[in-house]
Amino acid sequence: MPASRRRRAFGQHFLRDEKVIDRIVAETFEQVDRHGARGLLEVGPGKGAITNPILESFAARAAIEKFRIVEKDRALASEWSFRTRGDERIEVIEEDFLKVDSARYLDRTPLVVVSNLPYSAGTAILQELARFPREIPAMVLMFQAEVAHRLRAEPGDKAWGSLSLWIQNRWDVRKFLAVPPGAFAPPPDVNSEVVVLEARAEARVPCPPCPQPEFTEKWLSTWESNWEKLIRIPFLHRRKMLRSGLPKGSIWLDSLGEAGIGGDRRAEDLEWADWSRWLAAVQSRAFAKAH
In the chain, % of residues over pLDDT 90: 80
The verdict on domain 213-290 having CATH code 3.40.50.720 is no
**Do the strands 111-116 and 138-144 form a parallel or antiparallel pair, or are they unpaired?**
parallel
Contact 126, 141 (CB under 8 A): yes
> What CA–CA distance (Å, rounded) separates 186 from 194?
18
Give percent of the chain above pLDDT 70. Answer: 95
- Summarised one tens digit per residue, pLDDT across range 15-58 is 999 999 999 999 999 999 999 999 999 999 999 999 999 999 99
pLDDT of residue 287: 77
| Average pLDDT rounded to a whole number, residues 5-11 | 40
Q: What is the pLDDT of residues 76-135, one digit of tens each?
A: 999 999 999 999 999 999 999 999 999 999 999 999 999 999 888 999 999 999 999 999
Q: How much is the pLDDT for 212?
A: 81
Of 75, 147, 151, 144, the C-alpha closest to 116 is 144
Three-state secondary-structure class, residue 230: helix
3 state DSSP class of 97: helix
The rounded mean pLDDT for the chain is 92
Instruction: Sketch the domain layout of the chain as residue ranges.
Output: 3-199, 213-290
Helix (H) or strand (E) holding 79: helix 74-83
Alpha-carbon gap, residue 73 to 118, rounded angstroms: 12
How far is Cα 85 from Cα 79, in angstroms, rounded to an integer? 10
Query: According to CATH, what is the number of the domain 3-199?
Result: 3.40.50.150
The DSSP string of 159-220 is T-SHHHHHHHHHEEEEEEEEE-GGGEESPPSS-EEEEEEEE-SS-SSPPPPPSSGGGHHHHH
